[in-house]
Amino acid sequence: MKASFYRDTWAEIDLSAIDHNIRQMAEKLPDTSDIIAIVKADGYGHGSVAVAKQALKAGAKALGVALLEEALELRKAQIDVPILVLGWVPPRGAPVAAEHDITLTFFQEEWLEEISSYTLPKPLKVHMKWDTGMGRIGLRTESELRDILYALNKNPSIYLTGVFTHFATADEKDFTYLRKQQDCFEKLLAVFREMWPHPVTIHTGNSAASIRLPGEMYDAIRFGISMYGLYPSSVVKSEQGISLKQAFSLHSRLVNVKQVAAGDTISYGRTYSAQEEEWIGTIPIGYGDGWIRKLQGMDVLADGKRMPIVGRICMDQTMIRLDQAYPIGTKVTLIGHQQGAFIDMDEVAAHLETINYEIPCMINERVPRIYSGSKR
């Protein structure tokens, strides 16, 4: 590894997995549906620029982020494809967005009005968000839609290039609520088409919707979690509609190995006592890296075998019980594959009673991201 960091703790991002996951998805989609790769929150903790570049090579046509700041970071990295900001950006961000050809999401008349008071260096591209049942952001009624289209018509420096919605339950077994959202979307779309003759990109689906209903995805999908090789839920995983490869793995190395006697205790609060003579290893990762204290009791992999975390996780260090002595520098895998053994993201998420999405986001920037498997 040719990395210049001095603590042996790193996340490895396998770009060939990103490539694989995009291609798997593209194979399921009709040619008329493009892939917008969602790289918000620093690419779900994987690194937005590296993931975006690989996603585009694999066939994604555009990028989606949550913040204008995130879009600007991609532009700074010389990425020139369409970028859609999915969240609400204050009107004062419009000149910067227009300058960098970044598409903003909007759904409020006041927002359009306020933007009219700014001088835009170039026309501003926007996608309109419809709240069909997610209950988060977006306009909700036909009358709101009519009003906003009138307002839009009066503002020639704002170009409507897309309309979209987001599903609340696309990853759940029961499709009833999703069908309700689709009906609501279709009704708004009918009004929209009657009032707006210009072409726009229509998109509704996240990973779950795209994997399960690939033929119903209009012009594009917003492909997030499954691009990273993770299933949106256990339901989607069990349906086996797509075969994904987890891109993220987390590793460290033993910095201390010692034999302790029965009764010796480990870490703050002495919550762990050795039952007999035991080998205890220390790895340099802790809650200061996002490897939070609740992960006590998880297994990690050393020598291709599972070893438990023992005692309290500290800010920068974690102790594990080894089955024998190992040399300093022995690789320890906290998430991912090691010699045929595997700790997948879902296991870590289950331990924390949360969803896999949260895990790579939680491992913070103190842990360097190392990239492998880049594909042309």
Least gap, CB of 263 to ligand PMH (angstroms): 46
In this structure, are residues 292 and 268 in contact, taking their beta carbons and an 8 Å threshold?
no
Take residue 196 and report the two structure tokens written for it: 């707006």
Least gap, CB of 210 to ligand PMH (angstroms): 7
**Options 47-55, 219-227, 255-263, 302-310: segment touching ligand PMH (CB under 6 A):** 219-227
Site string for ligand PMH, 246-285 (x = CB under 6 A): ----------------------------------------
Site string for ligand PMH, 182-211 (x = CB under 6 A): ------------------------xxx---
Closer to ligand PMH by CB, 47 or 232: give it: 232
The interaxial angle of helices 109-116 and 142-153, nearest 10 deg, is: 10
Bridge partner residues of 302 (DSSP): 305, 332
Helix runs in 206-329, H state only = 207-212, 234-239
With CB atoms as reference, the residue minimizing the distance to ligand PMH is 224
Closer to ligand PMH by CB, 206 or 318: give it: 206
Residue tagged active-site, from 40, 53, 125, 129: 40
End-to-end CA distance of the chain: 21
Among 15, 38, 145, 313, indicate the residue that binds ligand PMH (CB under 6 A): 38
Residue 357 CB: number of other CB atoms within 10 A?
18
Residue tagged active-site, from 150, 154, 173, 268: 268
DSSP3 helix / strand / coil % (the chain, rounded to 5):
35, 25, 40
Per CB under 6 A, 29 contacts ligand PMH: no
Least gap, CB of 41 to ligand PMH (angstroms): 9
Closer to ligand PMH by CB, 8 or 19: give it: 19
In this structure, are residues 177 and 133 in contact, taking their beta carbons and an 8 Å threshold?
yes
Give catalytic status of residue 305 as yes or no.
no
Give catalytic status of residue 268 as yes or no.
yes
Among 97, 225, 310, 345, indicate the residue that binds ligand PMH (CB under 6 A): 225
Take residue 276 and report the two structure tokens written for it: 């007999």
> What values do phi and psi take at 22, rounded to 5?
-65, -45
Q: Is the dihedral of CA 265, 266, 272, 275 positive or negative?
A: negative
Least gap, CB of 161 to ligand PMH (angstroms): 16
Among 82, 224, 286, 360, indicate the residue that binds ligand PMH (CB under 6 A): 224
Closer to ligand PMH by CB, 233 or 252: give it: 233
DSSP code at position 311: S
Q: Which residues contact 195 (CB under 8 A, 6 or more apart)?
A: 146, 149
Among 222, 253, 321, 369, indicate the residue that binds ligand PMH (CB under 6 A): 222
Distance CA 59, CA 345 (A): 25
Dihedral over alpha carbons 136, 138, 139, 145 (to 10 degrees): -160
Q: Which residues contact 361 (CB under 8 A, 6 or more apart)?
A: 41, 42, 44, 45
Take residue 95 and report the two structure tokens written for it: 């000149």
By C-alpha distance, which of 272, 247, 269, 250 is closest to 338?
250
Least gap, CB of 79 to ligand PMH (angstroms): 18
Among 232, 284, 336, 360, indicate the residue that binds ligand PMH (CB under 6 A): 232
Sites for ligand PMH among residues 81-100 (CB under 6 A):
86
**Options 72-80, 218-226, 330-338, 368-376: segment touching ligand PMH (CB under 6 A):** 218-226
Take residue 343 and report the two structure tokens written for it: 């700790």
> HSE on the CB side for 89, CA within 13 Å?
31
For strands 34-38 and 62-65, give the pairing. Answer: parallel
Among 46, 53, 125, 166, indicate the residue that binds ligand PMH (CB under 6 A): 166
Number of residues that bind ligand PMH (CB under 6 A): 12
Bridge partner residues of 190 (DSSP): none
Closer to ligand PMH by CB, 223 or 287: give it: 223
- Residues annotated as catalytic are 40, 268
Which positions touch ligand PMH (CB under 6 A)?
38, 86, 166, 206-208, 222-225, 232, 357
